[in-house]
């Protein structure tokens, strides 16, 4: 059986009906005056899962995280953590810790005392605190900076202190609010993998809020794509990318070409969709809509081939166009191909070899084509 992309490891408690969720968000709504930030949202998160809430700013992802931390109370609905309702439990009595977007380090304390703060609140003996702080400093490789104050650290170091502080109490769940947002690109990419390793090593449940889809795709076991206070799709990164459940998700994650049309034939597992201008599409789909129904086909640019000669199956899943724009990105090249009816299709190809004979250039007449399982038929 074909599977969608590669999954990091065989970790999929969400697919097992016997496993119980660790965090259950049940029909939670949060209103601020007239504004509904989170709208009747339900979610299950499992132990040791790296779960990402992904969405544009204002989609309610941060509000949801703040409700998990206890800074906001749901207007209705409830959140259950490890079998216990969190309703009415203040932030300082919840077994979760949060890493803040601004890091929120205490400016008047050293790195050491910042990390020790939470342990002190629990009344841990001094010797144990010192030992734990030492472990945390080692974990984030900041042993040499123990006596420094936050303003004496670089952005990357501050991020590590914030991480160490939020992990020091060994919370059951770590909430991360845009944890890498303030780092530059290179450091961000390195830190993504470090966070993943750390989560594996400590066996914790991570819930991360991010607006950066690449970050979510890299780190998370599952992603919840959010929009206007609702979850649009919860799935693994590969499923989100290859099998988006809606036009919104297809469009939000990565680049996509969407062809609208009407269903003209339904035959065992395939749909024939007429998109106009003599460009019919035959695409695999488990659904069986009636003939004449509206349908849209979403195809990722890297799954579209560009060629000078029409493929054998033309005009099915193939159409002629003109190269309108070429973007050379180093690892790949992006083509914008303009069809006769004015639609622009994005196609990309990997630059697997260093030099190409006779590359495609501007204004050339080309054919674009794709396979019968290259895309997804969207319902809406």
Looking at the Cβ atoms of 116 and 337, the one nearer to other proteins is: 116
Question: How many CA atoms lie less than 13 Å away from 23 in the CB half-sphere?
Answer: 28
Looking at the Cβ atoms of 117 and 324, the one nearer to other proteins is: 117
Residue 117 found at the interface with other proteins (CB under 8 A): yes
| Contact residue for other proteins among 10, 18, 57, 122 (CB under 8 A) | 122
Piece of 45-53, 78-86, 164-172, 195-203 that binds other proteins (CB under 8 A): 164-172
DSSP 194: H
Residue 149 found at the interface with other proteins (CB under 8 A): yes
Element (H, E) at 197: helix 185-202
**Region 64-103 residues binding other proteins, contact defined as CB under 8 A:** 69-71, 90-93, 96-98, 100-102
| Contact residue for other proteins among 1, 6, 18, 108 (CB under 8 A) | 108
Residue 193 found at the interface with other proteins (CB under 8 A): no
- Residue 20 φ/ψ, nearest 5 degrees: -95, 135
Residue 153 found at the interface with other proteins (CB under 8 A): yes
Looking at the Cβ atoms of 32 and 328, the one nearer to other proteins is: 32
Residue 169 found at the interface with other proteins (CB under 8 A): yes
Looking at the Cβ atoms of 42 and 152, the one nearer to other proteins is: 152
Which residues, 6 or more positions from 138, have their beta carbon under 8 angstroms from its beta carbon? none
Residue 200 found at the interface with other proteins (CB under 8 A): no
Looking at the Cβ atoms of 164 and 232, the one nearer to other proteins is: 164
**How many residues in the chain?**
380
Measured in Å, how far apart are the chain's first and last C-alpha atoms?
Answer: 27
Residue 170 found at the interface with other proteins (CB under 8 A): no
Nearest to 217 by CA among 1, 12, 5: 5
- Cβ 182 to other proteins shortest distance, Å: 13
- Cβ 169 to other proteins shortest distance, Å: 7
Sign of torsion over alpha carbons 290, 291, 296, 299: positive
Tell me, residue by residue from 1 to 20, as one string, x for binding to other proteins by CB under 8 A and - for no binding.
--------------------
Nearest to 52 by CA among 208, 175, 173: 208
Instruction: Look up residue 30 and give its two tokens.
Output: 């949060």
DSSP 62: H
Sign of torsion over alpha carbons 238, 240, 244, 248: negative
Residues 92, 348: Cα–Cα separation, whole Å: 50
- Helix (H/G/I), strand (E/B), else coil: 130: helix
Binding site for other proteins (CB under 8 A): 69-71, 90-93, 96-98, 100-102, 104-108, 117-118, 121-122, 149, 151-154, 157, 165-166, 169
């Amino acid at each position: 059986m074909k599977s969608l992309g590669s999954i990091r490891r065989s970790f999929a408690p969400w697919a097992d009906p016997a496993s119980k969720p660790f965090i259950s968000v049940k029909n939670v709504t949060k209103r601020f005056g007239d504004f509904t930030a989170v709208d009747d949202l339900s979610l299950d998160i499992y132990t040791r899962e790296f779960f990402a809430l992904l969405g544009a700013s204002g989609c309610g992802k941060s509000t949801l995280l703040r409700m998990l931390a206890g800074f906001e109370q749901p207007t209705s609905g409830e959140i259950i953590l490890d079998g216990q309702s969190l309703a009415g439990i203040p932030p300082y009595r919840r077994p979760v810790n949060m890493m803040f977007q601004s890091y929120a380090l205490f400016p008047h304390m050293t790195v050491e005392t910042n990390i020790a703060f939470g342990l002190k609140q629990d009344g841990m003996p001094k010797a144990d605190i010192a030992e734990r702080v030492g472990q945390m400093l080692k974990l984030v490789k900041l042993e040499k900076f123990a006596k420094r104050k936050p303003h004496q650290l670089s952005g990357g170091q501050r991020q590590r202190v914030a991480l160490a502080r939020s992990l020091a109490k060994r919370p059951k769940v770590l909430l991360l609010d845009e944890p890498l947002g303030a780092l530059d690109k290179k450091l961000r990419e390195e830190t993504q993998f470090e966070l993943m390793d750390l989560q594996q090593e400590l066996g914790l449940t991570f819930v991360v809020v991010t607006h950066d889809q690449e970050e979510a795709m890299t780190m998370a076991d599952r992603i919840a794509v959010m929009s206007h206070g609702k979850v649009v799709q919860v799935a693994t990164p590969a499923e989100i990318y290859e099998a988006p459940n809606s036009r919104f998700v297809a469009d939000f994650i990565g680049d996509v070409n969407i062809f609208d049309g009407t269903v003209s034939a339904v035959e065992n597992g395939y749909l024939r969709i007429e998109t106009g201008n003599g460009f019919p599409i035959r695409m695999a789909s488990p659904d069986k809509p009636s003939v004449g129904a509206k349908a849209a086909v979403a195809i990722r640019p890297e799954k579209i081939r560009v060629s000078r000669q029409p493929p054998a199956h033309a005009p099915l899943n193939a159409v002629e166009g003109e190269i309108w724009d070429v973007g050379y990105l180093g690892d790949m090249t992006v083509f914008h191909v303009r069809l006769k009816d004015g639609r622009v299709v994005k196609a990309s190809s990997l630059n697997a070899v260093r030099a190409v004979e006779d590359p495609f250039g501007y204004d050339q007449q080309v054919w674009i084509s794709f396979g019968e399982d290259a895309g997804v038929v969207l319902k809406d």
